[in-house]
Amino acid sequence: MSLCSYETLKKLLFKLDPETAHTLAGFGLKSVVHFPVLLRYFAKKNFVTDPMLEQKLFGRRFKNPVGLGAGFDKDGEYITAMPTMGFGFTEIGTVTPKPQDGNPKPRLFRLIQEQSIQNAMGFNNKGKEYMLKQLDKLYFFDYPVGINIGKNKMTPEKEALNDYEILFNAFKAYGDYIVINISSPNTPGLRDLQNEQFIKDIFAMAKRITDQPVLLKIAPDMTPEDAIALCHTAVEAGAAGIIATNTTVDYSLTPNAKDFGGISGALLTQKSYELFKAIGKELYGKTLLISVGGIDSAEEAYKRIKAGASLIQIYSMLIYRGPALIKEINEGLIDLLKKDGYSHISEAIGADHR
């Protein structure tokens, strides 16, 4: 889909309630899967693969470093369609042990002037059993998939480990990596789990249950010192990587913000980059780093890569820019790598810290 044609579609989608528009987009993605000719056409049109961008991570081949961030495909229903949009990998979820409706509506808002999104979804999903059924359909599908897991809203904080234990056991034979989500602002008390003891306990438990790479996703609202300390604790406890960052509750970023939920998109760009850069300075070379938060161009993606990111993820900016953004970033990365005299993305990863 060209940027021009998406601008036309966006005008129609933006006349709808944001959550309705999301559901409609998901229906389109599920539908295209039933038409192999369309799958091949869009994959050929949008998917960028080049030896300069290919990496082997978690024992899997990532043909390009641009992935879909968690939150869009909450139930693993669109995995097969993701290559048609150009994504080199996808992350599904957040999935919880039991199905839950999430927070009351309205809970998803466009900040159009700021090219941002504010959401208070609250881990709405159909639960682990439904997700497992979706994953079982992918037996012959060779594509990197991460699984983002979280606790149910009604699970008390002191019993949170039990929920994660259920999920580790459920998904230990699925996907290519698992992400511990304790950084969403939309489940009461969840961010309180971003503490040293819980991190040690959950990674110790994960190691007992699964051989899957397990990553930690952190919030952008900590000080760099606290974030770095937390990430060090996670890596020492067995984390295979860090994903930074989730949405922000810094409502001072715009006078148009609601006083609840998390903000993503362009408003998060600088905040996410600064925290990621600080983390990269300390942890590049010690663990795998993934950057997410307001990435809207090849130049911004390249900044994150030079700051230490092996992979980057987008979500909210996709809503404003459309699928053409994915191809634009990948092709732009190739040009930027060549401009700096690099023959492979691995030479640019962490360049700011070498």
State yes or no: 169 annotated in a binding site: no
CATH of residue 163's domain is 3.20.20.70
State yes or no: 71 annotated in a binding site: yes
- Which class for 211: exposed (0-12), middle (13-18), buried (19 or more C-beta within 10 A)? exposed
Task: Read off the pTM.
Answer: 0.97
State yes or no: 103 annotated in a binding site: no
Tell me the one-letter amino acid at 23.
T
State yes or no: 162 annotated in a binding site: no
The C-alpha angle 281, 278, 352, rounded to 5 degrees, equals: 45
Residue 5 designated active-site: no
- Total number of domains in the chain: 1
CA distances (Å), origin 56, targets 53, 81, 169, 173: 10, 22, 25, 19
State yes or no: 74 annotated in a binding site: yes
What do you get for the CA distance between the two ends of the chain, in Å? 39
State yes or no: 70 annotated in a binding site: yes
State yes or no: 124 annotated in a binding site: no
The C-alpha angle 122, 125, 128, rounded to 5 degrees, equals: 125
Which entry of 5, 31, 116, 184 is annotated as an active-site residue?
Answer: 184
Domain enclosing residue 346, as ranges: 3-353
Q: What is the pLDDT along the chain (354 residues), one digit of tens a residue?
A: 454 588 888 999 999 999 999 999 999 999 988 898 988 999 999 999 999 999 999 999 999 999 999 999 999 999 999 999 999 999 999 999 999 999 999 999 999 999 999 999 999 999 999 999 999 999 888 999 999 999 999 999 999 999 999 999 999 999 999 999 999 999 999 999 999 999 999 999 999 999 999 999 999 999 999 999 999 999 999 999 999 999 999 999 999 999 999 999 999 999 999 999 999 999 999 999 999 999 999 999 999 999 999 999 999 999 999 989 999 999 999 999 999 999 999 999 999 998
Enumerate residues 6+ apart whose C-beta is below 8 A from 8.
Answer: none
Q: Can you tell me the distance from the alpha carbon of 188 to that of 112, in angstroms, rounded to the nearest whole number?
A: 27
